[in-house]
Amino acid sequence: MPKLYYEYTLSLLMKDESIDTIISDDITFRGTLSFNQTLKIKGQFKGTITSHGKLIIDETGDVEADVEVGSLVVLGNLKGNVDAKEKVELKKNGKVVGDIKTPGLEVEFGSKIIGNCIM
């Protein structure tokens, strides 16, 4: 099945936090993402991400972006600088190449940070 490719600005406004929005693993997306609740990226994204909500980069997620969010969970790959207002969680096999600015950082064994961290 061929991968889908999208290039535009996506604004997700979710009122119910129990609803998950997912960029699935067969999608390649370029542009600007802004959202208010929780977004999970399983596919590929390149651009800019801005949110007061929670961003989850899944094991299959590959993100190249500067990220400004409320909180961030990384299980996959992120290349770019991070500004998280609450916390960043790096799970096993998660990788961040870039600088991290956050008041709270949780790092699991097996994860990688290549960059600076300001707390």
Please give the share of the chain, as a percent, with pLDDT higher than 70.
83
Q: Each residue of 1-46: pLDDT tens digit?
A: 555 554 444 444 444 344 367 888 888 889 999 988 899 999 999 9
Q: Each residue of 77-89: pLDDT tens digit?
A: 999 999 999 999 9
Q: Please tell me the distance from the alpha carbon of residue 26 to that of residue 3, in angstroms, as a whole number.
A: 5
Q: Please tell me the distance from the alpha carbon of residue 104 to that of residue 118, in angstroms, as a whole number.
A: 10
The model carries a pTM of 0.84
Asked if the model's pLDDT at residue 48 lies above 90, the reply is: yes
